[in-house]
Amino acid sequence: EAGVAQSPRYKIIEKRQSVAFWCNPISGHATLYWYQQILGQGPKLLIQFQNNGVVDDSQLPKDRFSAERLKGVDSTLKIQPAKLEDSAVYLCASSVLRSSYEQYFGPGTRLTVT
Amino acid sequence: AQSVTQLGSHVSVSEGALVLLRCNYSSSVPPYLFWYVQYPNQGLQLLLKYTTGATLVKGINGFEAEFKKSETSFHLTKPSAHMSDAAEYFCALPGGYGQNFVFGPGTRLSVLP
């Protein structure tokens, strides 16, 4: 089966610009996650979707970050405006169910904010 | 709150030597525990997981981990390191009610020829 797809793989922007990331989860996976991984750290959950509804966005900086999952399949994560500290790898993951615990990760998007 | 610590941000071993990566956790409920591996410029891949039952868990690529409740540990081992094992390894557990994973800071494994 095809894995989790993410694009772009790399992005360089200047601070105060906006950027969007796209994720296509594994077919049939109801749960989708976005993580932020800062260099040298473990991934930190930003937002979790169950189908097209938000389950948890408690760690999402809502003043600048937004995410949506239309039709319960693809998802986009947007940052507007970007700050230097947003430089990180943004990982998308999916799982069959919330209760399955086993997540499948995409390759990530490496964002550099200058 | 659940938490994960990994002792040693960088571990170096010689090819063929034993690999031991340490993970300790804090959890208010019986934990599920996971090890993920991340190769350069790639996403995370599940190595193995402990849910219930046998405390010695075998995973892919010859890795295994043992859940020790008394020590709140879930250390990852491999009897003989291979060059291809060089990567970043993360220990993780669900972060409480719901499915939010808490990841440890990671341990970078280097394998020397």
pLDDT digits (tens, 9 = 90+) for A29-82: 999 999 999 988 899 999 999 888 998 898 899 999 999 998 889 999 999 999
CA closest to A110 among chain B residues:
B41
Q: Which stretch, A56-60, A69-73, B20-24, B38-42, has highest mean pLDDT? A: B20-24
Nearest CA-CA distance, residue A26 and chain B, Å: 14
Q: Check whether A102 has a pLDDT greater than 90.
A: no
Residue B5's pLDDT is 94
Q: Check whether A97 has a pLDDT greater than 80.
A: no
In degrees and rounded to multiples of 5, residue B29 shows phi and psi of -130, 160
Per-residue pLDDT tens digits for B55-65: 999 999 999 99
- Cα–Cα distance measured from residue A65 to residue A49, given in angstroms and rounded to the nearest whole number: 15
Residue among B9, B41, B98 whose CB faces A55 most closely: B98
B108 interfacial to chain A (CB closer than 8 Å): no
- Cα–Cα distance measured from residue A45 to residue A47, given in angstroms and rounded to the nearest whole number: 6
Residue B97's pLDDT is 55
Which residues make beta-bridge pairs with A25? Answer: none
- Cα–Cα distance measured from residue A72 to residue A78, given in angstroms and rounded to the nearest whole number: 17
Kindly report the number of other CB atoms within 10 A of residue B54's CB atom: 9
- Cα–Cα distance measured from residue B34 to residue B47, given in angstroms and rounded to the nearest whole number: 8
